[in-house]
Amino acid sequence: MTVRRDFQEPASCRPDLVIGREELFAGAREQLATGGSVLLHGPAGIGKSTVLRALAEEYAPTARTVLRCSATESESHLPFLALADLLGLVLDEVAPRLPAAQRTALESALTGRGESSLQRDGLALRLAVLSALRALAAHGPVLVVADDLQWLDPASAELLGFAARRLEGTPVQLLCAVRTEGPQSQEYDRQLRACPPGTRAIRLGPLSRAQVAQLLGHRGHGGLPRSTVREIHRTSGGNPLFALELGRALADSPTPPRPGEPLPVPTSLRALVLSRLDMLSVEARRTLLVASAGARPTPALLHAAGRENAEAECAQAAELGLLATEPDAPAVRFAHPLISAALYAEAPAHERRAAHAALSTAASDPIERARHLALATTGTDAEVAARLAEAATLARDRGAPSVAAQLGLLAARRTPAGGGPSPQERRLAAAEDAITAGEVDLARDIAREVLGRATVPADRVRAWIIVIDTAGHTMAEVDAVFPQALADAGDDPRLLALVHYQLAWRALIVEGDFTEARQAAAHAAELAACGKDRRTELLALAFQAQTETLMGHPEAPRTIKRALQEPQDPRVAWHHNGAGSARFRWLVMGDQLAEARATVTALLREVRRRGSVESEVHFLRGLAETELRAGHCGRALDLARDSLRLARDSGIGETASAMLTSLAEASGGDVERALALAREAVQHAEEDGDQMYLSRALGALGYAQLVAGDPAGTVRSLRRVRSLELGLGITDPARGRWQGDLAEALVATGETAEAQDVVDAGREHALRLGRESVLAVLDRSEALVRAARGDLEAAVAQLTSAQDRLGKLGYGLEEARAAFALARLPGPHPGPAAFDEATRMFRRCRALPWLRQVDEVLTAPGPEPAPATPQAPAGLDALAAMERQVAALVMEGATNREIAGRLFISVKTVEATLTRVYRKLGIRSRVDIVRLAAARRAR
């Protein structure tokens, strides 16, 4: 496939041009930094030149001499042209240092004077190029940057390869790029053999869908619907150049394609990929058109569609590189998806309809037959519309809601007005399928189209509900919708139930008012029951149950039972806002981890079968949370990362998934990543006005800060959580489980009185609700308060009890944290074996950040353990308890690290505490503390 120069990447190099190549870029950078050479390779348009320029721009300043060449296909027949690009500007510098024969041969080749050739002056030219590079390297590093090696004229390629193979030991590096169609192509092997020994070959592959979306956004095409981005990714095959050209064509098109229609392939790309079509016979071209119209074309399907010589015509196309040759595979596969798209776009409309008509009878799958039938006809047709609607139902049952949405739209376009179901009803069904598939942009567009046409109140209310649903946690942006939806609902209890159910969500997300949310959900359930709408009634009851569970409301168990009563609606049973989800949340908060895991695993399996993206994201988070509670940090981290990837790919639940992944990273992964994700979640929740998830995100941030050794930061974050939850009416400490972390951080910052207050307040609600694991964690935190106040015997007893109870409840990580706290108590007990036990427990949990904390404590130098914490002089009584202890140890001559080891706090906490001591006492240094104490004793 030939890429013309005007379609290659722009010469200016910006950071966004290496999107999706960060890992490869890092590998190339490492190779160059150690003096090695790099060969980039991959298919046309994959971004080799982009990465090459970025690397050259970064490493050019480190070289004394940079030699560049960039060959083109049109100039590849000119001998020594690439060599002239490389050495032409340095010829005057190196020529005097070459032997006469070599100098003459090189000057003749570069200037064109004389009749130099490889046949005539082969050895002299080869040695001249090698000598020239060595001469340049004698004065400093040399970087040779060569793009498009496949177009190098043969003479230059031979000379450069000869020299490169003999440059070992000299400071000459090659940074090259070559086009290859496959990872094992002969071109790649040939070019690698022509590179210096030890050259690192890096193959650039296709971008993911998320990376294509990011690239399009950076190039000004970020407003495209996700369904369109998905189609761009599919059509481009992840090739960045092709994706950008398709995005540009969409931006320039006055009438963008409707959902289900093929993308407009720009003339530039058509010419690029179809240049070999003219070499095909007319019949072979028709066969390829039928193949491009089919979803999974095979020779048998082509035969059934009337292409009698399909095998021979496909073989002809394969010889021209239009089809991939896979002898063992039955499918007919195009060499690149863009070839299929361009071939289809190039064909006249009547030929496309003929291809679909043939496939409508040849395809064995009823969904495919219905789709082809729709694309083979024009105008409205009740029978075709009915077949498409049936196919949409079948696709929905198969767990392919995205396909169901496209078929539903086709059914709506073929549905005549005045019949039943109406075109608007079928559009709304397609929009609801799109929401299930995670294509919220498509669903929103369909709903707005319906609102512009519909006059039936039921259709309008359903459309308004879809608009609200697609807003997700940014419900504040659609506030104006609610009055219009209520007006369209009139006095119909079924329609009013739909609106009041959404008002319940608004009260929770926008207002942060759990009481109002509970009341609105209960009212929606009553309206739905009156209107005999069991589905909405079940959803409203499930929402009411979840709200009551988070509030610690005594009615929660009864509401859950009501939501689980028969008759059930299968669409609600597995839904992430259904009764199954409410029951899972109750189980997790009630310490029934094994049953919670079984429940959420079954729900996840079902939503995957049905293709519900939003529910899958939700239940992946739920399973990750359950594993995290159980202390399976590695498993939790994998699940959380899967949830975040899916959330970002679909644009659904990103804030919640970032929050949960932060917790998992802080427990079993990368603490810096945990901090970044938590801050991202906080920012998004604040921007969205999402009060419910703001407190959860701040809780994750506080935990990550605690693990990172920043208790002051933890206190700031979790104090906000405490204030938010008080305002929201959340009283169940099992919802966010932040109380123990806040108390622990307060102890570390010397605020033991507030720490005890947090413990007491949390314990009151935990006792009322029977939250045994929360009570054990609070006991662990209270033990730290007692230890800070010098009551070590009580602290040891309380920590030992908390560790035992957490272990029996199955909270592995919390159990390990109790063992670690026990090991860090000052004094002769519990002894060195306690650190071994904490290490064993953290290792069992795969809690890598906590293991690092154990290592830091064990490797920190410190004095011999003292029997008791020294008493501070009376003159320091104005200080807080932690501040007095730190000051007393300073007077003993202890270093900050020694103080940290004695008081089981971090060095950062010691430094922060000393800063407060200096400020309160009006002094500047550790020496001043000693002087002040000595002066007061002298009195």
Q: Over the stretch 842-893, which tens digit does the pLDDT of each residue have?
A: 999 999 999 988 888 877 655 444 444 444 444 566 666 667 778 888 877 7
The predicted pLDDT at position 362 comes to 92
Give the residue-averaged pLDDT of 111-119: 58
Nearest to 26 by CA among 200, 206, 241: 200
Examine the pLDDT at 595 and tell me if it is beyond 70.
yes
Q: What is the mean pLDDT of the chain?
A: 85
CA geometry: angle 596, 600, 605, nearest 5 deg: 150
pTM of the model: 0.70
The predicted pLDDT at position 820 comes to 94
Examine the pLDDT at 560 and tell me if it is beyond 60.
yes
Nearest to 98 by CA among 133, 140, 66, 69: 133
Examine the pLDDT at 18 and tell me if it is beyond 80.
no
The 3-state secondary structure of 267-331 reads: HHHHHHHCCCHHHCCHHHHHHHHHHHHCCCCCHHHHHHCCCCCHHHHHHHHHHCCCECCCCCCCC
Residue 258, helix vs strand vs coil: coil
Query: Quick one: how far is CA 374 from the chain centroid?
Result: 37
The predicted pLDDT at position 5 comes to 36
Per DSSP, the residues of 451-498 read HTT--SHHHHHHHHHHHHHHHTT-GGGGTTHHHHHHHHHTT-HHHHHH
The predicted pLDDT at position 112 comes to 64
Which residue blocks in 770-847 are alpha helix, DSSP H? 772-788, 792-809, 812-823, 833-845
The predicted pLDDT at position 910 comes to 76
Q: Which of 189-198, 787-796, 815-824 shows the lowest per-residue confidence on average (mean pLDDT)?
A: 189-198
508: DSSP letter: I
Examine the pLDDT at 2 and tell me if it is beyond 60.
no
Q: Tokens 């039928």 correspond to what residue?
A: 290
Give the residue-averaged pLDDT of 436-451: 89
Examine the pLDDT at 938 and tell me if it is beyond 80.
no
In the chain, % helix, strand, coil (3-state, to 5) comes to 70, 5, 30
405 vs 117 pLDDT, higher one:
405
Q: How many residues does the chain have?
A: 939
Confidence of residue 441 (pLDDT cuts 50, 70, 90): confident
**Of all helices (H) and strands (E), which one includes residue 623?**
helix 613-629
The predicted pLDDT at position 831 comes to 56
Question: Residue type at 435?
Answer: I
Calculate the alpha carbon distances from 94 to 23, 125, 909 in Å: 38, 14, 62
Confidence of residue 295 (pLDDT cuts 50, 70, 90): confident
The predicted pLDDT at position 460 comes to 96
22 vs 499 pLDDT, higher one:
499
670: DSSP letter: -
Measured from the Cβ of residue 168, the count of other Cβ atoms closer than 10 Å reads 10
The predicted pLDDT at position 935 comes to 60
Which is it for strands 172-179 and 38-42: parallel, antiparallel or unpaired? parallel
Any long-range contacts for 733-736 (C-beta under 8 Å, 24+ apart)?
733/762, 733/765, 733/766, 733/771, 733/774, 733/778, 734/588, 734/589, 734/590, 734/591, 734/766, 734/769, 734/771, 734/773, 734/774, 735/550, 735/589, 736/695, 736/696, 736/699
Examine the pLDDT at 830 and tell me if it is beyond 70.
no
Examine the pLDDT at 613 and tell me if it is beyond 80.
yes
Residues whose CB is less than 8 angstroms from the CB of residue 363 and which lie 6 or more positions away in sequence, other chains included: 294, 301, 369, 372
Examine the pLDDT at 274 and tell me if it is beyond 60.
yes
The predicted pLDDT at position 906 comes to 66
384 vs 887 pLDDT, higher one:
384
The predicted pLDDT at position 641 comes to 94
Examine the pLDDT at 931 and tell me if it is beyond 50.
yes
Distance (Å, rounded) from C-alpha 66 to C-alpha 141? 9
The predicted pLDDT at position 239 comes to 86
Distance (Å, rounded) from C-alpha 625 to C-alpha 636? 7
Handedness of CA 400, 402, 405, 410 (dihedral sign): negative
**Of all helices (H) and strands (E), which one includes residue 201?**
strand 200-203
Distance (Å, rounded) from C-alpha 469 to C-alpha 315? 50
The predicted pLDDT at position 939 comes to 53
Give the residue-averaged pLDDT of 425-429: 95
Measured from the Cβ of residue 676, the count of other Cβ atoms closer than 10 Å reads 15
Distance (Å, rounded) from C-alpha 882 to C-alpha 711? 13
pLDDT in tens, 683-719: 988 888 787 789 999 999 999 999 999 999 999 999 9
The predicted pLDDT at position 816 comes to 95
Measured from the Cβ of residue 476, the count of other Cβ atoms closer than 10 Å reads 14
The predicted pLDDT at position 186 comes to 58
370 vs 112 pLDDT, higher one:
370
pLDDT in tens, 541-552: 999 998 888 788
Confidence of residue 1 (pLDDT cuts 50, 70, 90): very low
The predicted pLDDT at position 141 comes to 93
Calculate the alpha carbon distances from 292 to 71, 262, 267, 287 in Å: 35, 11, 18, 9
Confidence of residue 16 (pLDDT cuts 50, 70, 90): very low
Nearest to 729 by CA among 549, 852, 897: 549
Examine the pLDDT at 416 and tell me if it is beyond 70.
yes
Examine the pLDDT at 826 and tell me if it is beyond 60.
yes
The predicted pLDDT at position 209 comes to 82
The predicted pLDDT at position 11 comes to 36
Distance (Å, rounded) from C-alpha 805 to C-alpha 815? 8
- Across the strands, what pairs with 795? none
Nearest to 367 by CA among 342, 340, 339, 398: 398
Quote the tokens at residue 335.
């060499």
The predicted pLDDT at position 468 comes to 93
pLDDT in tens, 352-368: 999 999 999 999 889 99
Quote the tokens at residue 422.
């109406």
Examine the pLDDT at 919 and tell me if it is beyond 90.
no
Quote the tokens at residue 414.
């073929």
The predicted pLDDT at position 514 comes to 85
The predicted pLDDT at position 291 comes to 92
